[in-house]
């Protein structure tokens, strides 16, 4: 066993189980250039899906998985994220005076969801660099990383299931989902082997390979559970693809020190990193809502049945 394997084994045997993970890192320092002009003066993480900022879905997923210590990595121009998760005394007071109790509870519940902390990344040198800037806050504990471009259906319980694999193994776990060969170059890509216990072990991982060089069609989705050993490897990871310190390269280096597992899931992910998928996510989430779903479905059916062209003749 290497020394970091020993450390992980020690973590695992503490009282027979791994210490429950409480901390999650959400990198939110990106410029959001894919959503200009909407992101010129507001962070992309505050763009709403129906009526809720995308980052609130991610924080809600963390809270549902029992993670109550959230560290958001921010940068310039991200103040509205901090305001969103803070108390809003003026708004609360006005809602109280107006007797709008439902809205008041909604607004209060956001600031009571979890404890939120912030670190500014300063120089945006890539996702690996963003995660490394969480080191001091996380310390020597295992932790979760959740990327805001991936919004998960709460019913899929992706993070919760990954935490269960970590509790069983004591090691890092990366979320993986099959994509088409055309899509693989937009993702980290992993080759895996399944062991006798049904655990999926990652054997190779590369960031955004060309389609013809991809070792598989399993794409890395934005949910990770890491042992703190990741910080050692990230600290030594040189800039990779696009001149940025890549989280995927840090994971590849971690694999030479200790096992890294995969959690393969098949449904429940909304990719909101590009406009078409953002629209799809908006429609699907609206349809799944009790308050909006039925009338919105009716509207969509009507729209499809209408010969739009005939309206313009």
Applying CB under 6 A, the residues found at the interface with ligand G1P are 127, 147, 149-150, 187-188, 207, 219-222, 247-248, 273
Q: For residue 257, report the phi and psi dihedrals to the nearest 5 degrees.
A: -105, -35
Closer to ligand G1P by Cβ: residue 61 or 150: 150
The region, left, alpha or beta by phi > 0 then psi within -120 to 50, assigned to residue 250 is: alpha
Q: How far is the CB of 295 from ligand G1P (least distance, A)?
A: 32
Q: How far is the CB of 27 from ligand G1P (least distance, A)?
A: 9
Task: Give kind and range of the element (H or E) at residue 256.
Answer: none
DSSP state of 305: H
For the chain, the 3-state helix, strand and coil shares in percent, each to the nearest 5, are 45, 20, 35
Chain position whose Cβ is nearest to ligand G1P: 188
User: 204 near 213, Cβ under 8 Å?
Assistant: no
Q: How far is the CB of 174 from ligand G1P (least distance, A)?
A: 9
User: 139 near 227, Cβ under 8 Å?
Assistant: no
Closer to ligand G1P by Cβ: residue 110 or 260: 260
- Tell me how far apart the alpha carbons of residues 261 and 175 are, in angstroms, rounded to a whole number: 9
Closer to ligand G1P by Cβ: residue 170 or 273: 273
Read off the tokens for 151.
Answer: 């919004």
Q: How far is the CB of 235 from ligand G1P (least distance, A)?
A: 18
User: 65 near 166, Cβ under 8 Å?
Assistant: no
Closer to ligand G1P by Cβ: residue 218 or 285: 218
Closer to ligand G1P by Cβ: residue 144 or 219: 219
Best CA proximity match to 92, nearest among 116, 109, 69, 67: 109
Q: How far is the CB of 146 from ligand G1P (least distance, A)?
A: 11
CA distances from 248 to 113, 124, 312 (A): 30, 16, 50
Q: How far is the CB of 246 from ligand G1P (least distance, A)?
A: 6
Closer to ligand G1P by Cβ: residue 104 or 156: 156
């Amino acid at each position: 066993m290497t020394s970091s394997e020993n450390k992980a084994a020690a973590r695992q045997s503490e009282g027979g189980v791994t210490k429950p993970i409480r901390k999650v890192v959400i990198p939110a320092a990106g410029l959001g250039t894919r959503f200009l002009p909407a992101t010129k003066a507001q962070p992309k993480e505050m763009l709403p899906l129906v009526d809720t900022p995308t980052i609130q879905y991610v924080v809600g997923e963390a809270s549902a998985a029992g993670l109550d210590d959230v560290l958001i990595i921010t940068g310039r121009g991200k103040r509205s994220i901090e305001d969103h998760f803070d108390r809003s005394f003026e708004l609360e007071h006005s809602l109280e005076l107006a007797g709008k109790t439902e809205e008041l509870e909604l607004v209060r519940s956001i600031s009571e969801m979890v404890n939120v902390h912030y670190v500014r990344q300063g120089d945006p040198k890539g996702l690996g660099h963003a995660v490394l800037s969480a080191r001091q806050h996380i310390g020597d504990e295992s932790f979760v990383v959740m990327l805001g471009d991936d919004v998960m259906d709460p019913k899929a319980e992706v993070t919760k299931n990954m935490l269960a694999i970590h509790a069983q193994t004591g090691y890092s776990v990366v979320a993986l989902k099959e994509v088409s060969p055309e899509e693989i170059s937009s993702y980290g890509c992993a080759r895996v082997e399944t062991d006798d216990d049904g655990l999926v072990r990652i054997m190779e991982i590369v960031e955004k390979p060309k389609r013809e060089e991809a070792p598989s069609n399993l794409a890395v989705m934005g949910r990770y559970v890491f042992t703190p050993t990741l910080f050692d490897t990230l600290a030594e990871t040189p800039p990779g693809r696009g001149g940025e310190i890549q989280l995927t390269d840090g994971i590849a280096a971690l694999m030479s020190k200790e096992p890294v597992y995969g959690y393969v899931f098949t449904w429940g992910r909304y990719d909101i990193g590009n406009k078409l998928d953002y629209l799809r996510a908006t429609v699907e989430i609206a349809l799944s809502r009790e308050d909006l779903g039925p009338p919105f479905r009716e509207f969509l059916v009507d729209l499809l049945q209408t010969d739009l062209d005939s309206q313009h003749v």
